[in-house]
Structure 1
Amino acid sequence: MKKIIKYSLSVLALVVVLLLLVPFFLNVEDYKQEIEQQVEDATGRVLKIGGLQASLFPWVGVTLDDVVLANRQGFSERDFLKVKHLNVQVALLPLLSQRLEIVRFKLEAPEIFMERNAKGEGNWEDLLPASPESMTAVAGEPENSVPAAKDDEKTGSALAALSAESLQLLDGKFIWQDAQSGVRIALTDVQVELDDVQLEHPVGVKISARLNGDKIDIDAQLGPVGDLASLDVNKLPIQLSLKSDAIRLKSFATLIGSFPEKLGDINKASVMLNMQLEQRPDGVRLLAGEGALLAAMNIALDWKVEMPNVNTLRLNHVGIAINDKPLFAIQGDVKKLNKAPRYTLRIQGENIQRTWLASLLPELNQMYAAHPSPWKTLKIGASLAGTKDRVDLRDMQVLLDGEIVQLSGSVGFAKAPNIRLRLAAKTLHLDPWLPQPAEASANSSENASGNTLPAKNSDTAQANKAAVEPDLRFLKPWRVSMQMQVEKLFMRGLELGHLRGTLKGERGVFTLSPLGFDLAGGQVRETASLNVNRYPVTWTESIHISGLKLKPILEAVAGTDLLDGTMRLDTNLKATGLLPKTSMASLNGTGQLLLQNGRIKGFDIAGGLRNLSTLGSQKSASAQYTDFAQLQASFKIRNGIAKNDDLFMASPLFRLTGKGVVNLPAATLDFHVRPKLIGSLVGQGDTLTVRKGLSVPLHIYGPFASPSIKPELDAKSLLENAGGLMGSGAGGVGGILGGLLGGKNAQPAKSQPAEIKPKSQPLTPEQQIQKGLKGILGF
């Protein structure tokens, strides 16, 4: 036994001596040159090794210095790979027992330079191995050969006992350069350190680097790894913390592309990230952290997320804030991550003040510059569910200054948008939400000296130039079904009650059928259609109004009380185009109007006829208006010209008939009307009953804003009304009219001496009557 021990120790001592002496007799230079030549033969690139040292005891070690691998031909002259120093030491005795025990691994100043040229080729592509199929074909072996499996088993058993005292990477550098996009990314000052690496217990990992000069730190703990042969990465215990400084986006500007204007200059923007990750042995992953985009406005995101398995993501909390103001909190689940993700989310918004929002969107200040009382707060909450092709709005609530608007439905994106929505509200005031920008500057302004100068019309000219018919043909494949229900809607000083509407669209035709609401004591019902299959669009509209009080509508909409009455209106219209100028010029259709128990403010027909009969001697200074029991008319519209042949107005004292034309594109009218007394004016400021039948034709013409009214008289009309113009108190009237008309019994009328005036062209008799009657009638 002693001899056996003695001989064994002698053999062991001899082996140790040989391992110590071999490196001294081994010509390392021969191996270095051979390695360089083999690499060049295999890759076509020059490999240079500055220094190579080897040792066999007490550990197997290799040391390399100043290793350089040249770049691919046709690319930059910069080297593809550089290593300043590499020292690898592996314990010898454990290696004899098929255990890999790394005593030291130290890699200093490695540098990798990767680039893509203008053709899209990479300088690393020639180093990639051939596909497994081609390698198998060359080797002439089947794909799933038994020897390969055995090699894998040997490798796995060797790594099963992997351990290391220290693994270090110091001062590393990675550079990416893309000639196509112009992007250059530099990951410098890379430090990686792993201490006391054991598969049986957790391993600490520290990584730090600078991304284009901005620091990133990663601190992690991995494992225990256990048996590598049965390692499941999805269940490997991990605790990781990542923290970064503000990473500037300047270097990524080309890669990012367009940057929202509201976020400012991308060259001044940066992102910050602070994240924690935990993966448990049962596969559950927990993520928490916060990130922010620091730009013209700061957008912050914080989250707490859980993954029970690789296919499910549970959002315990995701918060979004802008400029330190929380806006939304999101909770929910995302399932089937590996196939077709499906999500269920609850989004809860915070109150958003208009004044705060205007600090981000200055356009709001202009939109409501002239508004006496614009909206104050907005709040949104919603429950959503869906896939990448569809969103279901299960319960969406929008609070407009505290008034609730509820939305539900779905929006599909599989091919073309498929929108199904329902909107409901009890009470809604729209006036605070309707924009009222500041009025445009006047047509003239004063300079510093007080002289009036014409205002610049560049804005108006630009607006007119920009007025182009919208092309809505992109809506052809859309499918729409929308329903609206509002109990009370307040808008422009009006109250719309029981508002109901249905909008449907398919194959380029959108139909509103019907839209109905109560307004000013009456009912409004409307049907309409819009055809977007052609350019410009065509549309139709039919309106039925009954029992509507007209005065409050005109006061609220037009700011005038010139007309009052209970209105009934029926229209059937069609036109082409959406711009007013285009649609007015192409408008065709019919309309019937009926006003009952109304009043026209601005002129008094009955009073005018009374003044005519007394030559103004009983002219009243009271307010001018005309009451009527009925006013009706029908229109036929052709290319924007509305023609009326049956205008009729009835009152207890007179009847009015007429006809005329309304030019909608030019906003003008041209009507000839004839009011006629049918009863006595006694009690209306007159004492005679013989004026019944008196009639004075009128011509109403000109622009809508300021129409002109003048009497239309000829000999026939005066003779027809002569009886109404005669009577006591008007003894000279017949003589005057007879003289003007050239009658045989004409007598000069007595009058006061007239003031001497410069001579002018004398008026014809008819012009004299018209001039006088206009003043008498109050026109």
Structure 2
Amino acid sequence: MNKTLKYILITVVSLAVIFALLLVTVAFVVNPNDYKPLIVKMVQEKKQRTLTLAGDIKLALFPKLGLNLGKVSLSEHNGTAEFAAVDGVKLYVEWLPLLKKSLVVDHVTVDGARAKLVRFKDGTTNIDDLIKKEEESEQLKFDIDGVKISNSTFSFDDQMEGRKLSVSEFGMRSGRLRDATKTDISLDFNGQMDKPQVKAHVKLDTGLLFELEKKHYAMDGLDLNIKGDAAGFSNLDIGLKGDVDAKPETAEFIAKGLKSTISGMRGSDKIKLKLDAPKIELTKEKVFSDKITLETNIEQVKGAIKAVLTVAAMEGTGKAFKAANIELDVDGKQGENAIKGKLTSPFAGNMDTQRFDLAKLVANLTVSNPKLPKGQMVVALYGDAHADLKKQDVALNMTSKLDDSNIQAKLGMTQFASPAYRFDVAIDQLDVDRYLPKEAKPKTAEPEKPMDLSALKTLNATGSLRVGTLKVSNIKSSNVRLDVKAVGGKLDVKPLSANLYQGSMDGAVSVVAKDTPQFTVKQNLRGVSVGPLLKDLTDKDMLEGRGTVSMDVAASGATVSAMKKSLSGNASMNLVDGAIKGINVAATLRNAKAKLGALKGEQTQAANAAEKTDFSELKASFNIRNGIAHNNDLFMKSPLLRLGGDGDINIGQSSINYLAKATVVGSLEGQGGADSGALRGITVPVRLSGPFDALKYNIDFNALASEAVKAKVEEKKEEIKTKLQDELKGQLKGLFGR
């Protein structure tokens, strides 16, 4: 913004120089309009710009040198496009001061001024030729009795930063503009900017004093008001009053009676801020301030929050100043949630190094909610914070106590314009579930809301989180480690490791914040007891066993349902010494033997949690495409059975359609019944189908009976064959007498 103002001022001064050139040129002619071509040629040769004088030039010589121009325009350098123009200019100058190289202007009136400033990608501007110093000259002093500017427009196209700024309906009135002389000035204009988006009306009234050689500027009785919309805020109303005295080159600043109010809306939230700073004095020799107070109030639909920041009186020098205490009080309520907290610390700083410290930071925070354990959560924090403005770095070191959890953290941020965050957090134990409300089952199905990952698009963060013991979503783990990197709209968590359920886990997760978010997961579980894990995770007892589970999958979608339906990749498992819950194949086959003659067709039975089929080994791999996991290499081994199969698990629909084929290879004895020689070698088809929470098993008894008959026929054939062979041998012996 400072550079923008600088360019505008340079443009105004440059235009004034051109007008002065016109004034001097025509001062001694009778009819200045006869010299328009000469003036145009002079500007073209000297500045390589086209000057267009559309109106008459009116000249007054006495008692003051006066110039009245109609419409005037100036082109871009070496171009025909309009750079600047005015609808009318009136200028009156005192004669005698000109002889002393002092410009004393009685008054200046400008109407309908227009200027287009451009900063190109290489850093050059379209006014470089106007401000180029071709020769050394003594500075011309100026003295203007009054200025009036109306109906003017300025624009600034900053191609280097990729943003545009415009000022319209610009109006200005001033008293005498003279070095080291106090004057009154009034500005009124509309401003607009695209990055960030700003649209506002600005009004300024102040007493102004400037000393150009000393580069000293002061505003007395400053009254600034800005109304409009900016950066997501609407109905903004910003007011600033007080007295300000500044020397920017030596970083000296003095303010008295500084008061500011800000109000506006962000969505449905009403926001109000109030600043009160009776006196601030910042110089190399002295730093002083009375107590400074900043109060913030936010009113929301279901609550409100109030925060008050108080900085005690500061004193010292530019190299070392301090305040006995900085205090922040927060009190808020949102629905059933209430928050109350206080942060305190002594404050110290150094203006030369621009380093500021909160050496003994103490914070206490209480969050109340009837659903929390004991109705509230209490957090105590101790540490120190440091800010180095030259290096653009902020750091916080802290230890904290959250109920039973002890937390140590190092947090930091660099690059204020585009913040880059860093963190290193260690927690001895953490039960996340105790702080999450239990999910209430909705009475009616509500449409899913798309995930909002917009914050990830601009997030730049790296760090590590370590937790000794962790419980989240009822899953218990230990030695948890997450290394996080977020940049350019992509979040990577690698490694994501932990010990859990007698085994270990390691892998990686990534999220890409696009219009349609993308997710990838690579995870390996080794030596894990899957039964307790699944029971804790899903509250369903479906499988027992211990071994390895791995997955490498990707998904995309703005909702969980869309992600499940797009899931693709591969997964596999290799378990030993376990059981499939819900069906006892041995008992089912034993019953089938007893009723083999009576059972026909397909018999359906619901899964029974009390039933299970033991195995010594279970292997399977899954090819996952568009939310459907296909398996065709199932291998389950037990003393009684060999189990294979082929089918699909529809992850998007949370259902299964799978045909398992159980082959009897052993004895049913010891499986809850007598031996079943009749079923040995028979393959029994079992179809699993239905939603996950209501699985059904269909056994094809027609096929089972057919297999049994075939086995019986084969058995009889072998028996007859053996008998015939024995009889034939006997007859042959009798025939040959052997």
Q: Which residue of 2 aligns with 1:352?
A: 365
Which residue of 2 is the match for residue 474 of structure 1? Answer: 457
Structure 1 residue corresponding to 2:575, chosen from 592, 595, 598: 595
The aligned counterpart of 2:392 is 390
Rg (Cα) greater in structure: 1
Report the 3-state secondary structure (helix = DSSP H, G, I; strand = E; otherwise coil) of the residue aligned with 1:348. strand
C-alpha deviations, 1:33-69, integer Å up to 9, x for none? xxxx999x99x99xxxxxxxxxxxxxxxxxxxxxxxx
Matched, 1:309 2:317: yes
Q: CA deviation at 1:593?
A: 0.8
Does residue 590 of structure 2 align to residue 613 of structure 1? no
Query: How many angstroms does 1:428 deviate by?
Result: 1.9
Read off the aligned partner of 2:291 and give its amino acid letter: G
Aligned pairs for 1:733-744 (under 5 A) are: none
Q: Does 1:287 align with 2:293?
A: no
Equivalent position of 1:486 in the other structure: 467
SS in 1 for 2:534: helix
CA distance 1:382–1:575, change in 2 (3 Å): same
- Residue 547 of structure 1: which of 522, 527, 530 is its match? 527
- Say whether the 8 Å CA contact 1:469–1:536 is kept in structure 2: no
CA contact (8 A) 2:264 2:271 kept: no
In structure 2, what is the Cα distance between the partners aligned to 1:278 and 1:498? 52
2:353 corresponds to 1:334 = no
Over 3 Å counting, the alpha-carbon distance change for 1:262 and 1:638 in structure 2 is closer
Provide the aligned C-alpha RMSD in A: 5.1
Partner deviation per Cα, 1:718-758 (whole Å, 9 max, x = no partner): 232238899xxxxxxxxxxxxxxxxxxxxxxxxxxxxxxxx
Counterpart CA distance in 2 for 1:298 and 1:563 is 52
Change (3 A) 1:346 1:259: farther
* Cα offset, 1:608, TM superposition: 0.6
* 1:698-777 mapped onto 2 (5 Å cutoff): 698-714=686-702, 717-722=704-709
**1:514 alignment partner in structure 2:** 495
Q: Aligned pair in 2 of structure 1 residues 74, 669: CA closer, same or farther (>3 Å)?
A: same
By how many angstroms is 1:419 displaced? Answer: 3.2
**1:528 corresponds to which residue?**
509
The alpha carbon displacement at 1:320 in A equals 1.4
Matched residue, 2:174: 125
The corresponding residue for 2:30 is: none
Gaps in structure 1 of 5+ consecutive residues: 1-36, 46-69, 76-113, 133-154, 156-173, 188-206, 219-231, 250-255, 356-364, 444-456, 727-779
Residue equivalent to 1:412:
414
For 2:418 and 2:641, the matched residues in 1 are separated by 62
- State whether structure 2 residue 495 is matched by structure 1 residue 495: no
Equivalent residue for 1:626, pick from 597, 613, 616: 613
Matched AA of 1:603: I
Work out whether residues 175 and 185 of structure 2, in 8 Å CA contact, stay in contact via their aligned partners in 1. no
Give yes or no for contact 1:573–1:588 (8 Å, CA) kept in 2. Answer: yes
Q: 1:400 maps to which residue?
A: 402
* Conservation of the 8 A alpha-carbon contact between 1:384 and 1:391: no
Q: CA deviation at 1:670?
A: 1.6
CA distance in 2, matches of 1:376, 1:473: 28
Question: Which one-letter code corresponds to 2:176 in the other structure?
Answer: L
Residue 658 of structure 1 is matched in structure 2 by 645
Alignment partners' CA distance in 2, 1:711 and 1:602? 14
The 1:698–1:121 alpha-carbon spacing in structure 2 relative to 1, beyond 3 Å, is: closer
CA contact (8 A) 1:286 1:304 kept: no
The alignment partner of 2:536 has SS state of helix
* CA distance, structure 2, for counterparts of residue 177 and residue 435 of structure 1: 55
Q: Which amino acid aligns with 2:342?
A: L
Name the structure 2 match of 1:169: none
One-letter amino acid matched to 1:125: S
Q: How many residue pairs align between the two structures?
A: 505
Aligned counterparts, 1:95-134, within 5 A: 119=168, 121-125=170-174, 127-129=176-178
1:115 to 1:564, Cα distance in 2 relative to 1, 3 A: farther
Deviations 1:375-426 (A, max 9, x none): 5112344423333463343513343225222222532226644333211121
Please report the TM-score for the alignment, with normalisation by the length of structure 2. 0.56
Q: 1:371 to 1:234 in 2, by over 3 A?
A: closer
Aligned mates of 1:372, 1:73 — CA distance in 2: 71
Q: List gaps (5 residues or longer) in structure 2.
A: 1-61, 68-89, 92-106, 113-147, 153-167, 191-199, 207-219, 226-239, 243-249, 300-304, 333-339, 600-604, 714-738
Alpha-carbon distance in structure 2 between the residues aligned to 1:666 and 1:326: 46
Distance in 2 between the 1:328 and 1:304 partners?
14
Percent identical among aligned pairs is 21
Task: Say which structure is richer in helix.
Answer: 1
1:117, 1:178 within 8 Å by CA — same for their partners in 2?
no
Code of the residue aligned with 2:328 in structure 1: it is I
Distance 1:335 1:559 in 2: 59
1:681 to 650, 659, 668: 668
Contact 2:365 2:379 in 1 (8 A): yes
> 2:657 maps to which residue?
670
Q: Decide whether aligned partners of structure 1 residues 260 and 377 sit closer, same or farther in structure 2, where only a CA change above 3 A counts.
A: farther
* Alpha-carbon distance in structure 2 between the residues aligned to 1:588 and 1:636: 8
- Alignment partners' CA distance in 2, 1:294 and 1:637: 52
Q: Distance in 1 between matches of 2:609 and 2:438?
A: 38
C-alpha deviation, 1:612, in angstroms: 0.8
- Seen in structure 2, the aligned counterparts of structure 1 residues 511 and 605 have a Cα distance that, compared at 3 Å, is same
Partner SS for 1:686: coil
Which residue of 2 is the match for residue 32 of structure 1?
Answer: none
1:185 Cα offset (Å): 8.8
1:549 Cα deviation after fit: 1.7
Deviation string 1:509-557 (CA, Å, 9 cap, x unpaired) is 544332211111111111234455x654544322111221222222222
Give the aligned partner of residue 564 of structure 2.
Answer: 584
SS at match of 2:669: coil
